[in-house]
Amino acid sequence: MDKSSDVMNQAVSAAVPGQRGFDYLIVGAGFAGSVLAERLAREQGQRVLVVEKRPHIGGNAYDRYDDAGVLIHPYGPHIFHTNSADIFEYLSRFTEWRPYQHRVLGSVDGQLLPIPINLDTVNKLYGLNLTSFQVEEFFESVAEKKTEIKTSEDVVVNKVGRELYNKFFRGYTRKQWGMDPSELDASVTARVPTRTNRDDRYFADTFQAMPLHGYTRMFEKMLDHPNIKVMLNTDYREVADLLPWKHMIYTGPIDSFFNFKHGKLPYRSLRFQHVTVPQEQFQPVGTVNYPNDYGYTRISEFKHITGQKHPSTSVVYEYPCAEGDPYYPVPRPENAALYRLYEAEADAMENVTFVGRLATYKYYNMDQVVGQALAAFKRLQQRHAAAETGTPALQSARAAAEGR
């Protein structure tokens, strides 16, 4: 039997008993695909096939225990944070949480200093004892004020001046993105605030917590529904023409969907080096950034993030690279223009909906992808409702006939 018929037989036998085919073919079992599968199956009673080319669910948020028994994030550290009570409440249906506030130190001039830059960063770096008011004055005195903030360089030098920019942002950004901050949209470095107080948390969101039993367990609960079938190790192209489905949700890279007809969209990749060391703790906080030395940008230690107790500890080094799995869309004007060509094609497709970080080419965090998926679900729900009750023209014709 050839591979495609083998795959089709698997899918057909996975279909809901007594019914042929699926209402939805969902490409990708990350946040975008899993939230939509869950909503469509549970709320709308739709029959859903999730096709995932990797050997696991969860997308880049997938976690697992390594050989030493430490819970790790194979695709880099994932810390959940959101300001949306709705998104937090939605995910809370599938997991309990462990409160966790992420802290990051930057290795600069031989010291480990708080990132985002705050009062302590400045005092420790320069051996000063400034107050919050004084550090504000200090920032004012060194800032290179810009009339227009366009690039990732503008954002930082406008707030903290060139010296701090060079020490904390320039090298990190050049390593991470393979280009100078002046070539990237302001939104990239604007993710990291500047503070005049001593708050050393990486995020300031209202809700900051980790799924108590990990992301994968949360995804398993989301996808645990009789109307949802999951097919792993399968590219959707292997099954899309062989199986009956009515609507596709696509969460992979959008340029790949259209066979790169307008050219390749740049995505930045990473190589992850996972290491387990036979000691309780490797570094003082969850992540240490290395803006100016080494080929890697940061080292993250999972036990800080997950709260796991274990005599050994596992860390991940992130080495940015151009080739490899697509992890980051690259926010800059020419890429946004290229994306708009694909977006126009996507909008014209009646039976495919594009959702997620790669499919909408947006540098989104997990909560933003959940929000985007829930919004897409609402639109699909309205379509279902309209299909059931008929078009507005039909409705008014009916109402007229009934004398309403």
Task: Report the nearest approach of ligand UDP to the CB of residue 163 (Å).
Answer: 14
Give the DSSP letter of residue 317. Answer: E
Question: 116: cis peptide before it, omega within 30°?
Answer: yes
Task: Report the nearest approach of ligand UDP to the CB of residue 173 (Å).
Answer: 4
CA distance 18 to 347: 34
Contact between 176 and ligand UDP per CB under 6 A: yes
Contact between 366 and ligand FAD per CB under 6 A: yes
Residue with tokens 């950034």: 289
Q: Binder to ligand UDP among 34, 107, 118, 173 (CB under 6 A)?
A: 173
Q: Name the CA radius of gyration of the chain, rounded.
A: 24
Residue span 270-289 as binding mask against ligand UDP, x where in contact by CB under 6 A, dash where not: -------------------x
Residue 136 parent element (H or E): helix 132-142
CA distance 84 to 211: 16
Residue (of 93, 29, 39) closest to 62 by Cα position:
29
- SS3 of 11, please? helix
Residues 291/169, Cβ–Cβ less than 8 Å: yes
Contact between 169 and ligand UDP per CB under 6 A: yes
Residue (of 357, 348, 346) closest to 252 by Cα position:
357
Q: Binder to ligand FAD among 168, 282, 364, 377 (CB under 6 A)?
A: 364
How many beta carbons lie within 10 A of that of residue 286, not counting itself?
23
Contact between 49 and ligand UDP per CB under 6 A: no
Residue span 57-86 as binding mask against ligand FAD, x where in contact by CB under 6 A, dash where not: --xxx-------------xxxxx-------
Q: Binder to ligand FAD among 353, 365, 376, 380 (CB under 6 A)?
A: 365
Contact between 149 and ligand UDP per CB under 6 A: no
Contact between 327 and ligand FAD per CB under 6 A: yes
Residue span 290-309 as binding mask against ligand UDP, x where in contact by CB under 6 A, dash where not: -x------------------
Residue span 90-109 as binding mask against ligand UDP, x where in contact by CB under 6 A, dash where not: ----------------x---
CA distance 228 to 222: 10
Task: Report the nearest approach of ligand FAD to the CB of residue 253 (Å).
Answer: 7
Residue with tokens 């992540």: 287
Joined together, the tokens standing for residue 83 give: 């300001």
Contact between 249 and ligand FAD per CB under 6 A: no
- Site residues for ligand FAD, window 213-242 (CB under 6 A)? 235-236
Terminal C-alpha separation, the chain: 61
Contact between 188 and ligand UDP per CB under 6 A: yes
How many beta carbons lie within 10 A of that of residue 398, not counting itself?
12
> Nearer to ligand FAD by C-beta: 86 or 137?
86
> Nearer to ligand FAD by C-beta: 125 or 270?
270
How many beta carbons lie within 10 A of that of residue 8, not counting itself?
16
Number of residues that bind ligand FAD (CB under 6 A): 33
How many beta carbons lie within 10 A of that of residue 363, not counting itself?
15
Residues lying near ligand FAD in the complex (CB under 6 A):
27-33, 51-54, 59-61, 75-79, 235-236, 251-252, 270, 327, 356-358, 364-367, 369
Residues lying near ligand UDP in the complex (CB under 6 A):
106, 115, 168-169, 172-173, 176, 188-189, 191-192, 289, 291
